[in-house]
Amino acid sequence: MAGKLTKIEVRYEHPAKGVDHCADCEYFSKPDRCRIVEGKVHSDGWCEKFEEKKMAEEKKKKHAGHGYKKTHIEHHADGSHTTHHEHEDGPEHDKKYASADHDGMMDGIMDHTSAPNPGEAEAEAGPAPAAVPPPAAVPPPAGGGAPPPMGV
Ligand code: SF4
C-alpha cells in the first residue's frame, strides 16, 4: 500500500528492546499488520511511531473511578428493589442494598457509581438556615426610676 513508512524510517525493532510493543499500539492490526508501517510487523515488535491504544488507556480508568464492573437489580412485587454492584477487585468490595421504591433505587445507583455534578450536593442540602437576629434590647424606663405599678 502506498504512503506507508518503511521499517527503516521508523527504526522498527523486533523484538522490541523496551516495554512498549506493537500489540499495544493504536496502529497495530491483528495478526501482523500496521496501518502506517509497510510489510509484516510482529506483536512483540516496536517502532518510534508507537502510540498506545486508546482502548488500553480507557481500561486503566477503572470504570471512571467507582470500580464496579456490573450491577444487578432485582425488581420486587411490592415496588422495592435490591441493587447489587459487583466490584472488579473482588466480592469483598461489592455493595448490596435495598430501596423502597424506584426513586430510591435510582438515588442509590447515582450515589454508588458517580460523583455529584457541580453544585448538586449543595442543592440537595437545601438553603442555609437564615441567621437569627439577636433579641431586641428593652429600653430602660424613662427617668431611670422604678417601673410604673401594674394593675392600677
Ligand atoms: S509500534 Fe505501532 S506504528 Fe510502530 S510498527 Fe508497531 S504497530 Fe506500527
Domains of the chain in start order, with CATH, are: 1-60 (4.10.490.10), 63-115 (no CATH)
Share of the chain above pLDDT 70, in %: 69
Q: Higher confidence at residue 40 or residue 64? A: 40
pLDDT of 50: 96
Q: Cell 466490584 identifies what position? A: 87
Left if phi > 0, otherwise alpha if psi is -120 to 50, otherwise beta: which for 63? left
Distance CA 83, CA 87 (A): 13
Testing ligand 1's pocket by substitution, the residue of 6, 24, 43, 46 carrying the most ligand atoms inside 8 A of its CB is 46
- pLDDT at residue 60 is higher than 90: no
At 78-100, the pLDDT tens digits run 888 888 888 877 777 788 888 88
Q: Which atom of ligand 1 is nearest to the CA of 45?
A: 6
What pLDDT is recorded for position 148? 58
**Atom number in ligand 1 closest to CA 34:** 8
Give distance in angstroms: CA of 64 to centre of ligand 1: 28
Atom 4 (ligand 1) nearest CA? 47
CA dist 41 and 24 (Å) reads: 13
Ligand 1, residue 46: give the atom nearest the CA. Answer: 1
